[in-house]
Structure 1
Amino acid sequence: MTVVTSSIAPPEGVFVPVPTFFKSSPVPPALQAPLDIEAQIQHSIHLAKNGIRGLVLLGSTGEAIHLSREERFELISGVRKGLTEAGFLDYPIMAGVLTNSVDEALEWLADAERAGAQWGLVLAPGYFGAAANQENLQEWYTLVADSSPIPILIYNYPGVTNNIIVSLETYTKLAAHPKIVGCKMSHGNVSHHVQVSLDPTIDHSKFRVFSGFGQQLGPIVLFGAAGVIDGLAAIYPRTVSRLFDLAAKRPVTPEALSEIQLLQFAVSRAEEMVGKWGIVGIKEGIYQVLKIGNLQGGRLPLKGRMPKGEWESWSVAMDAMKKLEEV
């Protein structure tokens, strides 16, 4: 299924980097458990119904590197079909592109467009991260964007790319490309988020800045960022979305600021679990709170669940989030 797109920026708001759901056990002769498309669709519809502005499928949290080309297409097309049948026509979907080759990145993007994604979230090529200078990064992204069938966002995640940091100057130059429509910064440098969000030489209606951390939501959105692509929102979508809505509204009244501070504290505290446990923790939370999926974790080497009693040890933070989610 193909969704007609143009080079427009993704909408502002909270996106969720959804984990990929797998069945509990392999079906011989397969060595690993297959995709659980039914659970994937169930979770996606829940998010769409509860304030989430869009999905990131097959990003880092989605374990795209653990899936085959056929599985990646099946997942995107399955979610697109499920959302459409549930009444969420043209619901925003970004597809992760986690490969270092220009040609292979374009292959991923072509598949994503054919499956129904409107944007590609393209990871900085980091295998030779220590040797990658900013000029080469700019050329790499320009080559990909020039030939991509869908608009792309720059994905800077130093933790999985040998500590590549996309420079402020690189963002400014690439933001001028008509098919590069935003970025996701998955690092703790709030100054970079704010500087790119406020750069007067960038057209911010066409280039949107997202953080990968809900801990930064309030601070960066108050200073012009477009939103977050946040893992905790996979568990508590209404609360994280409420925090965004308050932070994005202008003017910010004293009453709204008080609620922003309350929500940001609760979100940041709960994000500590996501920071510690990553994909395994997000999947555990989805199962414990939403009863979707299972406790098998991801694919090797991410298979397994939290140790016994670990989820319960986060009860203060998670109980607070649960109460906020029910308001």
Structure 2
Amino acid sequence: MKSATPNASNASVRSIDAFVGVNASMALPMTKGFEPDYQGLGRYARWLVDQGVTGVTVNADTGEGAHLSLEERIRVIESVKSEVGEAILVASGLIASHTQQAVEIASALRTAGADALLVFGIPAFNGKPLPSELVYQYFASLSECDIPLIGFNLTASLGGVVFEPEVIARIATIDNLVALKEASFDAASYVASRDALRSAAPNIAFLSGCDNFMYESFVLGADGALLGYAGLAAELTCQVFGAVASKDFERAETLSRDRMQPLAEVLFGAPVRNSRARIKEGLRLLGLIDETTVRPPLLPLQDSERAAVKAAMTVAGLL
């Protein structure tokens, strides 16, 4: 495998234009022995490019990033970059426990070839009230690694933290913060975050991560999308996002109602943690991966869930 060359210093990655369109948060194919299938990952990445995405994100929640060693995360980036080159933006989730560890991981991911980092919350962010200065100092330390950063509002149902508007306004002053992914899965929080970011820093991209109401979130305003859903239904997501962007709301609403939303309700229904396995089942049905293995303690799907995924994919026009 050829070594990857970091692309983070490219000025284009630091503009809103780099995030316009759909970024697919990738699942991670695994063998029956719970090891990453890097060859399968490369094929999957190439397929996503062909589906029309403008970027992919690896080592995030959909890709079981929290369950991977640093060496595995590095190899995941190298495998994807080796396959797609500079054709699209390749971001990586940054999952850590504290600042020093996060800086070390960020530096390693940058060297491996990540174009940007999706910054997950750390344990110190848990609990309310959350001091804006605490979050600011964490992002400021990461900014010194000289790689574009994507902030992350993530629903508590997936172990995340949703930042209050004052926190968003504070971290928006960080030099290397280039985007905010809003995945609160709550419309009121989504709008509050949108308004806080646009008021503080209109040059920072606002990305929808709300897989549970994608069409509506696009209409409410998003420069782009970063979605686990797009890791499976990439072309459909691009169609709906593009229709909203061109103000063809009738087409976008029809696609969403008839095809997009029924599948979203299955993939991201309770318990949401099973979305990783459901997406892998969908990829298997498409013939893109061989196994639907998820790394323990995540659980494999029951037959009823497999049947529900297949039925929803049929409704979505994917099968």
Classify the TM-score, shorter chain: 0.7 to 0.9
Deviation digits for residues 220-278 of structure 1, max 9, x if unmatched? Answer: 322331222222222221111100011112xx2xxx22111111222122111111331
- Whole-Å separation in 2 of the counterparts to 1:74 and 1:5: 18
Do 1:73 and 1:111's aligned partners in 2 also have CA atoms closer than 8 Å? yes
Question: SS state of the match for residue 316, structure 2?
Answer: helix
Matches within 5 A, 1:1-327: 1-6=4-9, 8-9=14-15, 10-25=18-33, 33-84=34-85, 89-126=86-123, 129-130=126-127, 133-159=130-156, 164-199=161-196, 200-204=198-202, 206-249=203-246, 252=247, 256-265=248-257, 266-276=259-269, 277-296=274-293, 298-304=294-300, 306-322=301-317
Do 1:121 and 1:153's aligned partners in 2 also have CA atoms closer than 8 Å? yes
Partner amino acid, structure 1, of 2:7: V
Note closer, same or farther for the CA distance 1:241–1:137 as it changes in structure 2 (3 Å cut).
Answer: farther
TM-score, structure 1 normalization: 0.85
TM-score, structure 2 normalization: 0.87
The answer to which of 278-287 and 100-109 deviates more is 100-109
Do 1:126 and 1:160's aligned partners in 2 also have CA atoms closer than 8 Å? no
- Whole-Å separation in 1 of the counterparts to 2:162 and 2:314: 36
Partner amino acid, structure 2, of 1:146: S
Shift of 1:132: 6.0
Note closer, same or farther for the CA distance 1:191–1:320 as it changes in structure 2 (3 Å cut).
Answer: same
Partner amino acid, structure 2, of 1:11: F
Deviation digits for residues 300-323 of structure 1, max 9, x if unmatched? Answer: 11242x22243323555321212x
Do 1:126 and 1:161's aligned partners in 2 also have CA atoms closer than 8 Å? no
Structure 1: tracts of 5 or more residues without a match: 26-32
- Whole-Å separation in 2 of the counterparts to 1:82 and 1:127: 36
Partner of 1:28: none
- Whole-Å separation in 2 of the counterparts to 1:174 and 1:290: 42
Do 1:128 and 1:162's aligned partners in 2 also have CA atoms closer than 8 Å? no
Note closer, same or farther for the CA distance 1:299–1:171 as it changes in structure 2 (3 Å cut).
Answer: same
Alignment: residue pair count: 305
Question: SS state of the match for residue 127, structure 2?
Answer: helix
Note closer, same or farther for the CA distance 1:148–1:66 as it changes in structure 2 (3 Å cut).
Answer: same
Partner amino acid, structure 1, of 2:200: I
- Whole-Å separation in 2 of the counterparts to 1:92 and 1:176: 23
Deviation digits for residues 143-169 of structure 1, max 9, x if unmatched? Answer: 334312301111122326766320112
- Whole-Å separation in 2 of the counterparts to 1:257 and 1:128: 38
Do 2:7 and 2:114's aligned partners in 1 also have CA atoms closer than 8 Å? no
Do 1:37 and 1:75's aligned partners in 2 also have CA atoms closer than 8 Å? yes
Question: SS state of the match for residue 213, structure 2?
Answer: helix
Shift of 1:119: 0.5
Do 1:193 and 1:209's aligned partners in 2 also have CA atoms closer than 8 Å? no
Shift of 1:101: 0.8
The answer to which of 179-188 and 133-142 deviates more is 133-142
- Whole-Å separation in 1 of the counterparts to 2:195 and 2:276: 32
Identical positions, percent: 20
Question: SS state of the match for residue 201, structure 1?
Answer: helix
Question: SS state of the match for residue 24, structure 1?
Answer: coil
Deviation digits for residues 49-72 of structure 1, max 9, x if unmatched? Answer: 111111110001111121111111
Shift of 1:197: 3.2
Note closer, same or farther for the CA distance 1:148–1:160 as it changes in structure 2 (3 Å cut).
Answer: farther
Do 2:282 and 2:309's aligned partners in 1 also have CA atoms closer than 8 Å? no
Partner amino acid, structure 2, of 1:3: P
Note closer, same or farther for the CA distance 1:128–1:178 as it changes in structure 2 (3 Å cut).
Answer: closer
Partner amino acid, structure 1, of 2:80: V
Question: SS state of the match for residue 310, structure 1?
Answer: helix
- Whole-Å separation in 1 of the counterparts to 2:158 and 2:266: 23
Note closer, same or farther for the CA distance 1:202–1:75 as it changes in structure 2 (3 Å cut).
Answer: same
Partner amino acid, structure 2, of 1:302: L
Partner amino acid, structure 2, of 1:16: A
Shift of 1:135: 2.2
Partner of 1:30: none
Partner amino acid, structure 2, of 1:300: P
Do 2:20 and 2:223's aligned partners in 1 also have CA atoms closer than 8 Å? yes
